[in-house]
Amino acid sequence: MQQLWCLSIVVPINDQERDILVNFQRDYSIREIRSEIRQRNTVEHLQAGIRSFSGLDEKPLIIMNHPSHQAMPPLPGLWDRVTPEKLMTWHYTDPEVFIGMVAAPGHQATSNRGRYYKHPSMNGFDQMTAVVGGVWDHFLGNGMRFWISAGSDSHVHVSDGGRDFWPGEYTKTFVLAHNEPADIMDGLRHGRSFMVFGDLIQGMDVRLSGDSKSGVTLGETLELGNEKKLTLTMSFTLNPDENFNGDHPELKRIDVITGGINDEIAGEAETNSTARVIERLDESHWRVEGNEIKVTVTLPREHANGYVRLRGTSGEYLEPEVNQEPLDQWEDLWFYSDPVFWEAGIKN
């Protein structure tokens, strides 16, 4: 069985940059040496590649591209090249190197969004991310700091007969960081990010707090005592200009998704039965101040340890679906955030 997988590698800008790329390509690319494809085409071989980055002073990042590209129906898919078990193995090899997966594949410019032929994408998203209580929530429920991102995967632009947008034309990943490469990599490595289609939003400020006034944001962990409720304060910056389709996108709904973290979730088959949409917010719940949407919600602390993540859309779908009819990409915009965690750490 063909097991090839596709990775994105982000390398720090330093005097080792060229050698790091050359060495990794030479030593760990499955297709680099044709006579060695079989022995390189293993989970263990990629683990060795991850470990080769672990010993560096500045670690590169590895992100799995389009993980469900070869999955087959029904939902959840029959995994092929990439399985949840493999992703967990690679992540645990070094969580600071193998940091996550692409939530929404590139190739979004035609009706078959993502070029997922066996099991279509779900409103443009990979099923491992799109299904609430699915694979990504399983990872988070196991306590993994496993992040999502997205890009264009731009090979041939749609204007030239291809299936792709230019980088940033439709899909963007935003990172909370200073405008310098090292801090951007740090933001990706620690989950300070969200991804968005079609400039639905251009910024996000999220704060999760307990009884104290201070809070934590995306990718961070809030230590709690005996609090029974949590406060989630959110601010979303809207796009003041037209997007690349000439539209002014309208955010219609924000979903607040929570899940528990406990040992029992490890025994579930690639699911997290505690994950659910706890709030669906629309314009009746938020206020608009200038170019920002602001909303605060109180979350019941249903789990001693848990997480909250956000999702928003311009459309009417309550949940992403395997679309039987082609959707206009520009009328079906979403954002997904990385999670904020909480855990029992101190006593009041």
Distance between CA 34 and CA 70 in Å, rounded? 22
Report the pLDDT value the prediction gives residue 2, as an integer from 0 to 100: 40
**Mean per-residue pLDDT over the chain, rounded:** 92
Low-confidence spans in the chain with pLDDT less than 50: 1-3, 347-348
Residue 122 is given by DSSP the state B
CB 271 within 8 A of CB 295: no
Query: Count of H helices and E strands in the chain?
Result: 7, 17
The pLDDT assigned to 347 comes to: 44
Beta-bridge mates of residue 276: 258
Burial 98-108 (b: 16+ CB within 10 A, else e): bbbbbbbbbbb
Contacts of residue 297, defined as CB under 8 A and 6 or more positions apart, other chains included, come to: 231, 232, 234, 256, 279, 281, 285
Provide the residue type at 44 as one letter. E
Can you tell me the distance from the alpha carbon of 284 to that of 310, in angstroms, rounded to the nearest whole number? 18
In terms of Cα–Cα distance, which of 161, 158, 144, 12 is closest to 84?
A: 144
DSSP symbol at 158: G
What is the Cα 276 distance to its own chain's centre?
17
Q: How far apart are CA 271 and CA 84, in angstroms?
A: 10
Distance CA 194, CA 217 (A): 12
DSSP state of 267: G
- Classify 107 as helix, strand or coil: coil
Question: What confidence tens digit (pLDDT) does each residue in 43-89 have?
Answer: 999 999 999 999 999 999 999 999 998 888 887 778 988 999 999 99
How far from the centroid of its chain's Cα atoms is residue 44's Cα?
24
Q: What is the pLDDT of residues 22-34, one digit of tens each?
A: 999 999 887 777 6
Locate 88 and state its tokens. Answer: 């967990």
What is the per-residue pLDDT for 71? 87
Backbone Cα Rg of the chain: 20
Q: Where are the alpha helices (DSSP H) in the chain?
A: 17-28, 37-40, 43-54, 84-93, 127-130, 135-141, 181-189
Six token digits for residue 16:
């080792």
Could you give the CA distance from residue 321 to residue 121 in angstroms, rounded to a whole number? 8
Closest C-alpha to 185, from 149, 236, 152, 220: 149
Provide the pLDDT for residue 57.
Answer: 94
Residues 154, 142: contact at Cβ < 8 Å?
Answer: no
Contact 207, 200 (CB under 8 A): no
Tens digit of each residue's pLDDT (9 = 90 or more) over 226-245: 999 999 999 999 999 999 99
Residues 251, 293 contacting (CB under 8 angstroms): yes
Greatest pairwise CA separation for the chain in angstroms: 62
Strand order in the sheet with 203-209: 215-216, 203-209, 229-237, 292-300, 287-289
Q: What is the DSSP string of 308-333?
A: EEEEEESSS-SS--B-SSPPPGGGS-
